[in-house]
Structure 1
Amino acid sequence: MGKTALITGVTGQDGSYLAELLLSKGYTVHGIVRRSSTFNTERIDHIYQDPQEQNRSFVLHHADLTDGIALVSLLRDLRPDEIYNLGAQSHVRVSFDAPLYTGDVTGLSALRLLESVRASGIEARVYQASSSEMFGAAPPPQNEHTPFHPRSPYGCAKVFAYWATVNYREAYGMYAVNGILFNHESPRRGETFVTRKITRAIARIKAGLQDRLYLGNLDAVRDWGYAPEYVDAMWRMLQRDEPEDYVVATGEAATVRQFLEVAFEHAGLDWTEHVRYDPKYERPSEVDALIGDASKARDLLDWKAQVKVAELARIMVDADIRQVADQLSGATIRIDR
């Protein structure tokens, strides 16, 4: 009999790729969706619409990470083998504007989920989506032993969730792990995140729909990988005999400016003709450089990033150009790859 998994944040970039991966491995996959006036499932609609995917059991449940009692009831009903906590307010710049909301949803909700697992009495393995933003001002390269120095409310909330996960592992013997994922992107990335903002703008410029792109700090250094590869690392963490925490990264650094150059050049455009600086996109406190050392994941999980930043930029540009073309032609849109 196949395993059962529960994914919070299933409608996001990582949640959608993870659901596809688990379904391909024969899992029954349950996803948590917040109840709201709009049903934002565009990243996973193709799973519903594919009869073969339906036969593998993909079920959504209305629930909220702020409601611990509802979480306990759901866990007792589903009794999942694995839980992937990907739900969060995940935009760093937004966390400065909504710090209390970010602290609740990104930090305290991880604790609510851990406590719900304990209170329900189930024997589930728990994955907590931690972030390279926890390292903040700590000098690169960063690995599992690098001290945390967060530089945003989002980073602070993720540090809280990280240590809550470690505490429940040590206090209750729970199989709970932290995946410290560095930036990972794809054509399903939200359009307000800088990489997707860039590639989406390129597609619109090519189509004559806009002429300018406004950005903040172009000198920030990041380690960008490909999201479908990173969800595979999540799954591998929960297959190990012992629960441990892992950094997941490419180890390759690039500035926002370098990403711009590769992406615009791939589309046959000169980025200097279209990109302008706008201080409103600057963070009150900047993280200068995040570069991950994923040696532990390579050695223990047999995981290594294959797609690096240049190929990633090309994948995203091509996908956005196709999507804009489809929109202009009135075709039905599926978020690519």
Structure 2
Amino acid sequence: MRIIGLDAARSLAIVLAMSSHVYVEAGLQPHVPDQLSQIMRLAFQIATPTFILLFGTMLEVIYQPRWTSTAARRQVAGHLVSRALQCWALYAISIFALFLSHDQYSLRFSIGTMLFMGNSPYTEILKFYAVVLALASVLLWLRARLGLWPLVVAALAYHAAWPLLTALPDAHHDLGAPLAVGRLIMFATGFGGLQLAGPSILHGLTLVVAGQCLGQHPSLPGRLLAQGAGGLAGMGDPAAAGDLRDELGLRPGGAPVAGGRDGPRPSETAHRPHGTGPPEPDLAPPARRLSAISPSWRRWAASGSGPAAGLRAR
């Protein structure tokens, strides 16, 4: 089972991104009326923010619940760093392909681009993912220590300070820094006079925080509960789905298991008269364990339609 809304948003972002590349490479702009062209360009520009919002949602839905013990945090951090290295490797391969096929990609420029000091036409989102995935553990740590609201305030403060930040001297044009250094600063901060082909780190992180806020919506954890955490496996992380199933006390098919990962309780193994059948599973302890993960779970567990009620309905 999958979370249909997230899959639909991801599919839409992929279609828009690929359509944008085709639109440019095929030279369709001269053949499209100006008004329609402006609408199409606006639609194409939705793709990258959508990808970043979904990334923040996945952090909140999949990885934040696993950010518990020291061993679990190390496992999550190692997994995120591994994904970051994969994204960088794919980005480097794409730059190497451009080096082989385009004369304007010199060896020096290609190496600098692999080190985030240049721009490429189509794979800048991989460069962004490589950095943000490496920083995701820090974001999860701050999220666990401070909560979500301080991150929201910091993101809003960054946008509110944008007029002041853009008034700062440009590293390349005003301070005389090398072009490669100016591009690196532009990629990290988002402000400066140089061209940037993809999202900057600080701008993108504000969208990641917005995605984390979306991940707090009750419909997401509620649907994961109703589907026995199958949606996590469908989003590409079976390990996270297994952890959540264990935490909830669910079998792979979605049926509740009495006792969850802690095993059966004494009250469940007590003598029962013949023919009375298995006991009604005690679902309150898994809900209480889950409520320690996130405030939204606590609010949901306290309501009449919370996790225990949703599981009993099955």
TM range (shorter): under 0.3
Task: Determine which structure has more spread, i.e. the larger CA radius of gyration.
Answer: 2
TM superposition score normalised by structure 2: 0.26
Structure with greater strand percent: 1
